Amino acid sequence: MSNYFNGKGTYMNKEYAQIFSNVLDEKQIKINEPMSRHTTFGIGGPADCFLVPKTAEELCVVSKLAHRNHIPVFILGGGANLLVRDKGIRGVVIFTGRLHKIEQSGNLLKVSSGVSTAQAAQAAYERGLSGMEFASGIPGTIGGAAYMNAGAYGGEMSKIIVSATTCDARGDLITYDSRDIGYSYRHSLFMENGEAIVDITLSLKPGNKKDIRALMDDLNHRRRTKQPLEKRSAGSTFKRPSGHFVGQMIEELGLKGYAVGDAQVSEKHAGFLINNGHASCEDMLHLIHDVQQKVKENYGVDLHTEVQIVGEE
């Protein structure tokens, strides 16, 4: 293909679109798509090429084409634990949010990666299955929750996932048993191998629908009263260090409301950093660094981000 590279050595964005146009229609391919539209932070520069496959088959084909053409790939779910840099993402972003099937087999629930975590919890409730209640208020998709082993209120995805199917760079489907996923606190094998999660299978337990609903309502009430759900954030910004509570340390340092531009420590819950309007990634990174530095100086604790930071520096 002529003119395959531009002067900066990266693929020309229109050439990207041409590569995938035989698989996806024009509505499924977006050029220079602002990532701020696709993250709960509302922050992020443009993706060179943003692809929206609607089926697992399309996902596998575009993955294979990207690999064959040496195009960098970033897999995007609900954008709920993500901070994208202001220069955006080079290569292609493959959005899995249109993969949207839920199938039941006894106590097993097979859920496509693009289903929201809240919708998966609701589907479990409707089928009288217990075990997903903790996740009913976790933002983003079930694929993203499985990717980072999301958890809340004593529950964790690793405790209910029995298998996961992924698509690798060559476009092949691979099924992993839960024991092979390498789950630990906010970590999984998928963070290392770069494979796209296609679906997961959850092992749940029969329960009383009234009890399931009551627990979901209680946990969501706690979230609404304690977390800044009315603001744009990526959830808890930092991982929990052993023996410490992040929000408590930040609050004790008097940092509630501390801001860099429109990036701010939530006044409602100090463990949440929020976009209070038009924060840039640079603002948020500056704020993250300031909080990390002050906690280190006063407590001797290193805070590590739970939020994934991606994009061109």
| Region 9-21 average pLDDT | 74
Domain chopping of the chain, boundaries? 13-95, 102-210, 228-310
pLDDT of residue 67: 95
Catalytic residue among 186, 195, 266, 280: 186
**pLDDT tens per residue, range 167-212:** 999 999 999 999 999 999 999 999 999 899 999 999 999 999 999 9
What residue type is assigned to position 41 of the chain?
F
- pTM greater than 0.85: yes
Q: How many CA atoms lie within 13 A of 280 on its CB side?
A: 8
Instruction: Determine whether 242 is exposed, middle or buried from the number of CB atoms within 10 Å of its CB (0-12, 13-18, 19+).
Output: exposed
Write the CA distances from 61 to 26, 57, 69, 168, 185, integer angstroms. 16, 6, 12, 10, 32
With respect to CATH, is domain 228-310 assigned 3.40.50.10490? no
Query: Which of these is catalytic: 113, 236, 266, 280?
Result: 236
Task: Read off the pLDDT of residues 18-40 as tens digits, 9 standing for 90 and up.
Answer: 899 999 999 999 999 999 999 99
Strand pairing of 173-177 and 205-206?
A: unpaired
Q: Is 213 a catalytic residue?
A: no
CATH of range 13-95; options 3.40.50.720, 3.30.43.10, 3.40.50.12780, 4.10.1240.10: 3.30.43.10
Residue range 273-296, pLDDT digits in tens: 999 999 999 999 999 999 999 999
| Candidate list 15, 58, 156, 306, residue with the active-site label | 306
Starting at the earlier edge strand, list the strands of the sheet with 102-105: 102-105, 108-112, 196-203, 161-167, 173-177
Is 2 a residue of the active site? no
Question: Residue 186 catalytic?
Answer: yes
Asked if residue 176 lies in contact with residue 162, where contact means CB atoms within 8 angstroms, the answer is no
pLDDT tens digits for range 88-116: 999 999 999 999 999 999 999 999 999 99
Domain boundaries 102-210, CATH class: alpha beta
- Tens of pLDDT, residue by residue over 219-238, are 999 999 999 999 999 989 99
